[in-house]
Amino acid sequence: MRKLCLLLSSALLLMGSARAQHQIPPYIPPTDKAVQANLEQWSDWKFGMLIHWGAYSQWGIVESWSICPEDEGWTQRQPYGIPYYDYVKKYEELGKTFNPTKFDPSKWAKAAKDAGMKYVVFTTKHHDGFCMFDTKQTDYKVSNPNYAFGKDARSNIAKEVFEAFRKEGLHAGAYFSKPDWHSQDYWWSYFPPKDRHVNYDVSKYPDRWKAFRQYTYNQIEELMTGYGKLDILWLDGGWVRPRKQDKKAAADITAAETGEKVIKQDEDIDMDGIAAMARTHQPGLIVVDREVHGPNENYRTPEQQIPDKPLDYPWETCMTMANSWSYVPNDHYKSVNVLIHNLVDIVAKGGNYLLNVGPGPDGQLHDEAYTTMTAIGAWMHINGDAIYATKSVAPYKDGKVCFTRKRDGSVYAIYLLDKDEQVPATIAFKGLTPAKGAKLEMLGAKDKLSWKATGGGTTITIPATLQKKGFQHAVAIRISAVAS
């Protein structure tokens, strides 16, 4: 019997530690007051634009990944079977011919503003290492005077983008890839690259890794000093991380967390030091060391997905407006209906929505990106108050109704309309009731709406005139006060 107990308790112990190992480390809130304040503001913006743009757009292929020698669907090289180094050579030459003569970021910025977006995050450098800013650390940059666009007055592309968006009143964020597949200090040509990681043994060649850290530090410092006010440093390539997480995070980086079998290398680029440096130039900067759960991940970034439930830390879903992050000819765009529903769903769960577009090689967005943004803007123009500066509120979502709460205590019930669906005669939900005497009205209409409490829930009556008013995508009903 004792033996059985012992066996059982050690089995339980094992299960416990296995669970602990797979647990995602807790969110670490920033201690810097200015960062806290900026994060609070950022969470009011709700809607932003992510832009993936680089020399790769000339081929209309996936950004960077085709030079990564992993055998995955998105890393495939064309023509299939082409020798690896022949391919990389051709790929890197794309920098020379990249010539976006129709580059006009003020057009993107206006479209983003009209859509109701409040910030932009732009790829200053993706994993391929091609810089879309005028770095002094490498010649592999769009502003190289020997390259097609290098002598153009707009060749410091990132600067032009940030300035154009700020001019429209939007906030600016720099996407920056920590891995750099062009750098000799990340993929040293003495060895063949095998996967996305650094391709030499960091413990055996510490000076090379030190040089890579310095390179990264210098590039980020350039971005923090020469590009005006930046609100977010959005760092991609989460596999570049220390093997052991910061002690404050109280967690080892487990294999489960990175999706890999073993963490082979200690790819520590001193993110604490980089963040501290960045904030001396940009006080209160929000640093997003994506997926490296710890003090430098000021918010978390679910990718191409919406969490099932509200999360108890700041978060932002990044998602493509079409299928790809980067430009693909004839890419298939998500419908306006789907995008608005996503936005409402995300905001009701307390998150932000960072929606991506991929400009083409000439610098223009697909027409569909513009029509989509105009349509979202038309909806936001009426319904923005139900989105911006809101918090999540229980029951978050009940069937087709999502909820958001304003700082003054009022609540919005947002009813998601299917494509071509008319506003129904009644809108009912559970889990929330208006306070006695509360005023209910639909955004975009003046009528006062009547309601009745129905067993822990509410049924709102919609007058026939409003049903026929032609509302699309979603309607927001403001409830001036809710019963506690």
Residue 18 corresponds to which tokens in the numbers above? 């296995």
Sheet containing 457-461: which strands, arranged edge to edge? 426-430, 457-461, 450-454
Rounded to whole angstroms, how far apart are CA atoms 31 and 53?
Answer: 34
Pick between residue 51 and residue 476 the one whose CB is nearest to ligand GLC.
51
Closest approach, Cβ 10 to ligand GLC, in A, equals: 40
Q: Which residue, 63 or 134, has its beta carbon nearer to ligand GLC? A: 63
Query: SS3 string of 253-319?
Result: CCHHHHCCCCCCCCCCCCHHHHHHHHHHHCCCCEEEECCCCCCCECCECCECCCCCCCCCCCEEEEE
Rounded least distance, CB 318 to ligand GLC, Å: 5
In whole angstroms, how close is the CB of 63 to ligand GLC at the nearest point? 5
Write out the binding residues for ligand GLC, residues 367-386 only, by CB under 6 A.
none
* Interaction residues for ligand GLC, span 454-473 (CB under 6 A): none
> Which of 128/185 has CB closer to ligand GLC?
128
Rounded to 5 degrees, φ, ψ at 405 are -125, 135
Minimum CB distance to ligand GLC smaller for 227 or for 234: 234
Q: Is 195 in the site for ligand GLC (CB under 6 A)?
A: no
Among 98, 119, 176, 325, binds ligand GLC (CB under 6 A): 325
H helix runs in 326-455, sequence order: 336-348, 367-383
> At its nearest, how many Å lie between ligand GLC and the CB of residue 58?
17
Contact 44, 388 (CB under 8 A): yes
Contact 53, 121 (CB under 8 A): no
In the bound state with ligand GLC, the residue whose beta carbon lies nearer, of 236 and 297, is 236
Query: To the nearest whole angstrom, how small is the minimum distance from the Cβ of residue 80 to ligand GLC?
Result: 20
Q: Where are the beta strands (DSSP E) in 99-178?
A: 119-125, 171-177
- Least distance between ligand GLC and beta carbon 70 (Å): 11
Is 318 a binding residue for ligand GLC by CB under 6 A? The answer is yes
Residue placing its CB nearer to ligand GLC in the complex, 235 or 411: 235
Least distance in Å: CB of 69 to ligand GLC?
Answer: 15
56 lies in the binding site for ligand GLC (CB under 6 A): no
Of 152, 303, 368, 421, the one binding ligand GLC (CB under 6 A) is 303
Omega prior to 395 cis, within 30 of 0: yes
Q: Tell me how far, at minimum, the Cβ of 290 lies from ligand GLC, in Å.
A: 8
In this structure, the number of other CB atoms found within 10 A of the CB of residue 17 comes to 10
Comparing CB distances to ligand GLC, the nearer of 200 and 327 is 327
Contact (CB, 8 A) for 144 and 155: no
Nearest to ligand GLC of 222, 236 (CB atom): 236
**In terms of Cα–Cα distance, which of 293, 290, 170, 313 is closest to 230?**
170
Q: Cβ distance 28 to 297 under 8 Å? A: yes
Q: Of residues 404-443, which lie at the interface with ligand GLC (CB under 6 A)?
A: none
Q: How deeply is 437 buried, as exposed, middle or buried, from its count of CB atoms within 10 A (0-12, 13-18, 19+)?
A: exposed
| Total Cβ atoms within 10 A of residue 138 | 17
Within 60-99, the residues that bind ligand GLC by CB under 6 A are: 63
From residue 233 to residue 272, what is the string marking binding to ligand GLC with x (rule CB under 6 A)?
---x------------------------------------
If phi > 0 it is left, if psi is from -120 to 50 it is alpha, else beta; for residue 399 that is left
With contacts defined by CB under 6 A, how many residues of the chain interact with ligand GLC?
A: 5
Q: What's the closest the beta carbon of residue 208 comes to ligand GLC, in angstroms?
A: 25
Q: How far apart are CA 209 and CA 267, in angstroms?
A: 8
Q: Kindly tell me which of 50 and 440 has the beta carbon lying closer to ligand GLC.
A: 50
Nearer Cβ to ligand GLC (60/377): 60
Q: Which residues bind ligand GLC (CB under 6 A)?
A: 63, 236, 303, 318, 325
